[in-house]
Amino acid sequence: MRILITGGSGFVGQRLCQRLAADHQLVVVSRDPEAARRRLPEGTQVIANVLEALDAAPEALVNLAGESIATKRWSDEQKRRLIDSRVDVTQDLVMLCAKLAANGQAPRVLVSASAMGYYGAQPKQGEPGQRPVTEESSAHDEFAHRLCERWESVARGAAEHGTRVALLRIGLVLDQGGGSLQKMLPPFKLGLGGRFGDGRQFMPWVHREDLVRAIEFLLERDDLKGPFNGSAPHPVTNAAFSRSLARQLGRPSLFPVPAAVLKLAFGEMSRLLLTGADMRPARLEAAGFTFTYPTLDKALAAILD
């Protein structure tokens, strides 16, 4: 199968390409094709924009593009960048679907990333109304929700051209060599790590290997469409995450970061650290997907071994 991947040279995309390369023809979209070629499997075609893939007529699309949401304070300009980096590429993919459909070559499927931010801030552990968040749960209206809602809305447009659309709302991705864990490890290795705020906010997480397996699963199952929570079945609170990581490293977890300090340092973006959702992969599990790393302790043990 010919598969077009945006964001294929990123933390998740690289591992996905490694898994897919043996059995599929890969086309990766990158703003820096030369750098991307050095990070991707041999034989991967790298192009500079989505519409260059028209001649390749990909049969499946995976959309992982988007500027990191946690690198800068959320000024109005940065919010526009976060939205545009996701929406513009997704619009190009829908346009590609339209052009290919006009030639009778509509892609079979688009698996498009979204994020746990779709649900906005949910009640913390022990608060009234706290319950597991599935794909049917209502969302709290705030910037992260509006960003994900718009991103998903654009992706759904591919269905108008005969392409099945699966939306993957991704939690915190854990593995060696990148992602959030790479930023967390230095202070925790020094025994300086700890919870954020009161630590009762949930942190949906997923091992990178399970996430790329879930993407493959959604590519292959022609009966699956709509939103899917891309996180492990056992989310934990921030405090529990901190204790587990410290325990795996054989270090104490004694230095909480007060919420006021995070708000001062990061502004509105601090909500990513101080809020969360008890997000569960209800639809993936109902469809028969099984997680290799269902618990945080098992995931961290494998990563840190």
Which has the closest alpha carbon to 293: 218, 232, 216, 215?
Answer: 232
Is the Cβ–Cβ distance between 271 and 121 less than 8 Å? yes
The pLDDT tens digits for 2-19 are 999 999 999 999 999 999
pTM above 0.85, yes or no: yes
Q: Model confidence at 246, in pLDDT bands (50, 70, 90)?
A: very high
Give pLDDT tens digits for 131-164: 999 999 999 999 999 999 999 999 999 999 999 9
Average pLDDT over residues 169-177: 96
Return d(Cα 305, Cα 249) in angstroms, integer.
Answer: 10
pLDDT reading at 71 higher than 90: no
pLDDT band at 172 (very low <50, low <70, confident <90, very high): very high
Please check the confidence at residue 230 and state whether its pLDDT lies above 90: yes
SS3 (DSSP) at 279: strand
Residues in the chain: 305
**pLDDT at res. 40:** 95
Q: How far apart are CA 151 and CA 84, in angstroms?
A: 9
**Fold observed for domain 2-175+205-232+278-293:** Rossmann fold (3.40.50)
| CB of 13 closer than 8 Å to CB of 173 | no
User: Is the confidence at residue 305, as pLDDT, over 90?
Assistant: no
Q: What is the pLDDT of residue 228?
A: 98
In the block, residue with structure tokens 């043990």:
301
**pLDDT over 90 (residue 280):** yes
DSSP string, 94-131: HHHHHHHHHTT---SEEEEEEEGGGG-S-PPTTSTT--
Say what percent of the chain tops pLDDT 90: 94
Task: Identify the pLDDT of residue 132.
Answer: 97
For residues 271-278, give the mean pLDDT: 94
pLDDT digits (tens, 9 = 90+) for 98-125: 999 999 999 999 999 999 999 999 999 9
pLDDT digits (tens, 9 = 90+) for 82-95: 999 999 999 999 99
Average pLDDT, the chain: 96
pLDDT at 70 over 90: no
Q: What is the CA radius of gyration of the chain?
A: 19
pLDDT at residue 199 above 90?
Answer: yes
- Predicted confidence (pLDDT) at residue 213 exceeds the cutoff of 90: yes
pLDDT of 170 > 90? The answer is yes
Give the model's confidence band at 66: pLDDT under 50 very low, under 70 low, under 90 confident, else very high.
very high
Helix 296-304 to helix 238-249 angle (10° resolution) is: 40
The per-residue pLDDT for 297 is 97
pLDDT digits (tens, 9 = 90+) for 236-245: 999 999 999 9
